[in-house]
Amino acid sequence: MIKVAPAGARERAQQAAALRTDGLVVEVPSAAGPRAVVRGISLTLERGQITALVGETGSGKTLTALALIGLLPPGVHRRVDRVTLGSDDISSFSVADMSRVRGRRISMIFQDPMTALNPVLAIGFQVEEPMRANLGLDARTAHERARALLEQLRLPDVDRTLRRYPHELSGGMRQRVLIAIALACDPQVLLADEPTTALDVTVQSQILELLREQVDRRGLAVLLVTHDLGVAAQVAERIDVMYGGAIVESGAVEDVLTAPTHPYTRGLVGCIPRVDVRLRPLPTLPGSAQGVWDVRAGCRFAPRCAHAIDKCRVDDPALEPVGEGHAAACWVFAPPARS
């Protein structure tokens, strides 16, 4: 049974959020029937903020993003108590309804810009197409807007870039083009799935700065899916840590990273190799994530947890507040307040 947090606290943040979801479940088919790989999570994306969704392979972070924008692979289904985009409830939107929203009000960028771009179409066409299709702009207006957008994203020699093809651009330039396409129709929400993972660190840092700049300038709400806590620390306001299909810790970046509460978050923070000091041996998290097929009862992290008690192996903990705007799902370190 999925536990949801008390309703009162959630209602308060109602107005401002660009995107909210409650009780999001994603199920994938298996021989033994559908398995929930995202298990009833709640997310809130605020205008002008970057929320980092951090997790390892198989934690369900990418499926969460795909479920929000309605791009789940065939056979994979979502159930949700509620999704709101601005003031609109889009929980029951059909595929056709979603395709009218996607690109216009909510858009997404992916890890590998080479596969996300069409190799046989010029950059200009690909940036202008969503403006013409979604906003009905004529060719000249779309072209002017595309020029302005690429300039904002500091692509060099904009007129020439618009005529070039994806293979003629560097990885960093391609990712900027992808961001331009995602922002072409001025959406309120951007989902970014590991947008800098394929890039060198110096280019990564430029792209993150650009993203930050666009967020501040447009009041954009961003969900940044990443496995890298360093990336989250650099640009995000909030972090949601996912493990085994659930959010195990959530809060402001400085709270989660300087005072991690959940043993998984603490382990993750502890085992990042540090540049300033050599540790022998490096602290580790024992074992590895069981991935999406883990169906055991109780806390999914319990088998790797040094602090697990009997209750952890039986009951799944829900997020409980551990500080202002900071919550963790752990029987040991975030026990529910006695009522």
Partner 1 sequence: MTAAVEVSGLVVEYGLRAGILGRAAGSVRAVDGVSFAIESGRTLGLVGESGSGKTSVARAVLGIAPISAGTVRLRGTDVTHATGRARRGMRRHAQMVFQQPTTSLDPRRSVASSISEPLVHLMGLHGGALDRRVVELLGLVGLEAEHATRLPRQLSGGQRQRVAIARAIATSPALVVCDEPTSSLDVSVQAQIINLLVRLQGELGLTYLFISHDLGTVRQIADTVAVMHLGRIVESGPVATVLSAPADEYTRALMAAVPSIDRVRRRTAVPAEGTRA
- Where do contacts with partner 1 occur on this chain (CB under 8 A)? 5-6, 8-10, 12-13, 16-17, 42, 44, 46, 48-49, 56-57, 200-202, 204-205, 208, 227-238, 250-254, 257-258, 267-269, 271-285, 288-289, 319, 321, 324-325, 327
**Cβ distance to partner 1 smaller for residue 10 or 35:** 10
Both tokens assigned to 280: 């022998």
**Cβ distance to partner 1 smaller for residue 13 or 139:** 13
- Whole-angstrom Cα distance, residue 70 to residue 91? 10
Both tokens assigned to 291: 């991935």
**Cβ distance to partner 1 smaller for residue 131 or 327:** 327
Both tokens assigned to 22: 């409650």
Measure CA 197 to chain center: 13
Shortest distance (Å) from residue 301 CB to partner 1: 11
Return the H-helix or E-strand segment holding 54: strand 50-54
Phi, psi of 256 (to 5 degrees): -65, -40
Residue 49 neighbours by CB under 8 Å, 6+ apart: 215, 221, 222, 236, 237, 238
Both tokens assigned to 32: 């033994």
Pairing of β 82-85 and β 88-89: antiparallel
Shortest distance (Å) from residue 174 CB to partner 1: 14
Shortest distance (Å) from residue 328 CB to partner 1: 11
Shortest distance (Å) from residue 65 CB to partner 1: 17
**Cβ distance to partner 1 smaller for residue 48 or 298:** 48
**Cβ distance to partner 1 smaller for residue 66 or 289:** 289
Shortest distance (Å) from residue 127 CB to partner 1: 25
